[in-house]
Amino acid sequence: TNDTFGPLRDLARPARRRRRGRTLTSVTAGGRWSLVSGLAAKEASPTRQAVARARLLLDRYGIVSRKAVQSEGLSGGFGPIYKVLRELEEQGRSRRGYFVDGLPGAQFAYAGAVDRLRDCRDEAEERDAVVKTDNIVTLSAMDPANPFGALVPWPDVRDSQRAKPRRVAG
């Protein structure tokens, strides 16, 4: 790495506007240089990377299913992540089940996420059918926390004249 932007600026200039008497070598040799390869973190083992990726998905989505992994576009698909999630379940670090109706296949979650889902279900069963303004949460269609359109299908639209919802800005 270099401690000055001078060499970069000179490289960005067209050849005819470079300072006189400077060759390409003299331009790139300016400033003080430091070796930073020792500062870079060593690459983690594939196993550690897979566990970190699975935990990231659990933290991000709360409930990890095949569709959640597909929406991430991870190489290898759901298979490698499933093996890690299954191992986390066997270690007691996550739970496997069918927590969300409409999401096909096995779903994985931390115990706390499952408990929070159950609390919401219990509250919904106790609540009247009337929806209050306090109960409505609005999320942008582009917000990664919004599961509609990516993980679960959009709700049915009664008015056929209106456009079907999409995951686009606006």
Over residues 66-120, the pLDDT tens digits come to: 988 888 888 888 889 999 999 999 999 999 998 888 788 889 998 888 888 777 7
pLDDT tens digits, one per residue of 6-61 = 777 777 777 665 556 555 555 566 677 788 877 877 788 888 888 999 999 999 88
Find all residues with CB under 8 Å of 140, minimum gap 6, and list them.
Answer: 146
Place of tokens 């983690």: 44
Q: How confident is the model at residue 123 (pLDDT cuts 50, 70, 90)?
A: low
d(CA 92, CA 84): 12
Confidence (pLDDT) at 91: 93
Confidence (pLDDT) at 160: 65
Edge-to-edge, what's the strand order for the sheet holding 107-109?
63-64, 107-109, 95-97
Kindly report the pTM of this predicted structure: 0.53
Render the burial of 29-48: b for 16+ CB within 10 Å, e for the rest: eeeeeeeeeeeeeeeeeeee
